[in-house]
Structure 1
């Protein structure tokens, strides 16, 4: 049995890269095309990803234990410590109790908004004007009468929002598609806010997209996501596909990752302007 730890390490070293390559292929860009995402498959993939990460942690612990073993002399054998082995093998979580709220790494984060770009503060101001003349770091009412006339406060699917009419109509379509495809996920969508007329924190006078009623923050079960950590709730990765299909940009792809944030893309804004909706 003296070679057992080394054999375990060798097998683990072989299997982890194989599983990881398979995951990267499964989560490649092709899997994110269209809104008809298979939520069950995504959950299975993310569970497997968590299991791989857990295996890597256990492997590191096992390698440490092997390094501490004394070299075997002539005629010397090692006795198995079954309690220690079981403790090591059972050190990670056995189940993902709440799959939709489970926090996972964001796969291919920089490419999640493929084909879409943000409107940006300068573009929004050039096309729509300013929502109010004077801005601060706190949310204040919209005073631009042209924009204010298109502002609506409504229940949209599972949440209540205060946004411009075209954005509300678009959001309603997104939620309708989600409800048809995955009613369990739909029932657990929660909002962290929509309209908030203020400047971007840390700037002198630059406008947040929330200032125009063209952005919404979402979460699963009311649990807020950590800002800029490269991770998000699994449910939000599923929602992102539906939003992308409707022309929304996901904040997970921002330089400063903000995965609860969804906003209208420049392309969609231009279409509404051409149609006279804004």
Structure 2
């Protein structure tokens, strides 16, 4: 490797290391030690900005490598211009006064570690749910239809839960209240911006002939920020949903961001939570 390449690579590696250290120090101490719910939304915003800086540094390194390979070493040094500028560096967020990050809750970001967001939790498959609770409706279609399972219908409740109105089984609705209560306590501004795209919908999973959707059992809800629906299967989500996901995970809910076909506005009760409710006589 030529000297200039070594110098440039060293600069980028050091910068990435410093930003990585910044990510570590910004993450709340109890999060690092216990994996609990994140409550510092401002820190989450700053972490996302730092992650974007890391990606930008990697792009700069790749661009410099291509330029060096295509030109002589001295020509590359003379002609090189940094693709970044001081104006493009994200400004630090103030830590007092009015909340200046309101517009960021609905911003779209990449989902970091997408396959690990449901660590420790298991998806309740359609076959498990039917064996555990019974079939919510004997004949399913692609359209939302009423339940005809009398036992499940007895547990079905329509109620205003925090910022949204939902129709769910009673234990799931109570659990959702717990989630939103903690979100409100930690971040009132985020709480006030939560919207829903639906809860109960008794139908088959689209693209299948007879597999029941988790929505069919009143055990799932679709959420968004400011009424803007999240793009499906694009590996991205709204920043506010990444914050909500921590609270849902702590309450035993699975986040659709971790599905093979990413669906990050979707939250559903995990198999572990259902089995816990059964043991407690709630379901």
TM-score scaled by length of structure 1: 0.82
Q: Which residues of structure 1 form unaligned runs of 5+?
A: none
Q: CA deviation at 1:102?
A: 2.9
* Residue aligning to 1:85: 81
Greater Rg, structure 1 or structure 2?
1
Matches within 5 A, 1:1-278: 9-15=8-14, 17-19=16-18, 22=21, 30=32, 33-70=35-72, 85=81, 88-90=83-85, 93-95=88-90, 98-278=103-283
Task: Name the Cα RMSD after superposition.
Answer: 3.2
Q: 1:259 is paired with a residue of what secondary structure?
A: coil
Between the aligned partners of 1:105 and 1:23, the Cα distance in structure 2 is 19
Between the aligned partners of 2:163 and 2:18, the Cα distance in structure 1 is 37
Q: CA deviation at 1:236?
A: 1.5
Q: 1:199 is paired with a residue of what secondary structure?
A: coil
Between the aligned partners of 1:227 and 1:30, the Cα distance in structure 2 is 30
CA contact (8 A) 1:191 1:218 kept: yes
Aligned positions, number: 269
| 34-43 or 48-57, which deviates more | 34-43
CA contact (8 A) 1:132 1:143 kept: yes
Q: Which residues of structure 2 form unaligned runs of 5+?
A: 92-100
Q: CA deviation at 1:89?
A: 2.1
Q: CA deviation at 1:52?
A: 1.2
CA contact (8 A) 1:100 1:233 kept: yes
Q: CA deviation at 1:242?
A: 0.8
Provide closer, same or farther for how the CA distance between residues 31 and 40 of structure 1 changes in structure 2, counting only shifts above 3 A. farther
| 267-276 or 179-188, which deviates more | 267-276
- Deviations 1:129-180, CA, capped at 9 Å, x for gaps: 1111110112112222221222122211111111111111110110010010
Q: CA deviation at 1:263?
A: 0.6
Provide closer, same or farther for how the CA distance between residues 168 and 93 of structure 1 changes in structure 2, counting only shifts above 3 A. farther
Q: CA deviation at 1:5?
A: 7.4
CA contact (8 A) 1:248 1:265 kept: yes
Q: CA deviation at 1:215?
A: 0.3
Between the aligned partners of 2:76 and 2:273, the Cα distance in structure 1 is 67
Q: 1:149 is paired with a residue of what secondary structure?
A: helix
| 177-186 or 135-144, which deviates more | 135-144
CA contact (8 A) 1:54 1:92 kept: no
Between the aligned partners of 1:274 and 1:36, the Cα distance in structure 2 is 28
